[in-house]
Amino acid sequence: MRTMTLLKISIFAVLIATVLPVSSSLAQTDMPVGYTWTAPTTGTPVEFYVVQHSVDGGQWTQIGTTDTNSYTLNAAVGQSHQIRVAGVDADDRQGPFSQSSDPYTPDAGAPGQPGKPILF
């Protein structure tokens, strides 16, 4: 009679991970772009402004309101952006929209300086 012996072999793998610094300047896709304008000189006082936005000459879309005469747009890099504004008075009456801003296409610029090389 033959006897069979089972031999259990366990293999342990050791995984060693090297942690490298991750770049804090990933490809920038949006940039803040600031706009400002003067208040109307006729009509009732403005309570707030309606802000509309156009991308690449497309349709105007309302993106917000502001109670100051400035607005910061989070604009996509590589696309042309324009805004226009209209004043709204205390009786919720909206005046005409301003002329649109000049088109502006944000550019993130050349890559920044890489981090210092390290041994690993």
Kindly report, residue by residue over 73-95, the tens digit of the pLDDT: 999 999 999 999 999 999 999 99
Kindly report, residue by residue over 24-76, the tens digit of the pLDDT: 445 679 999 999 999 999 999 999 999 999 999 999 999 999 999 999 999 99
Q: Which DSSP state fits 8?
A: -
Out of 7-11, 40-44, 105-109, pick the least confident: 7-11
CATH match for 30-97 among 3.90.1200.10, 3.40.50.1000, 2.60.40.10, 1.10.630.10? 2.60.40.10
Buried b (16+ CB within 10 A) or exposed e, 15-41: eeeeeeeeeeeeeeeeeebebebeeee
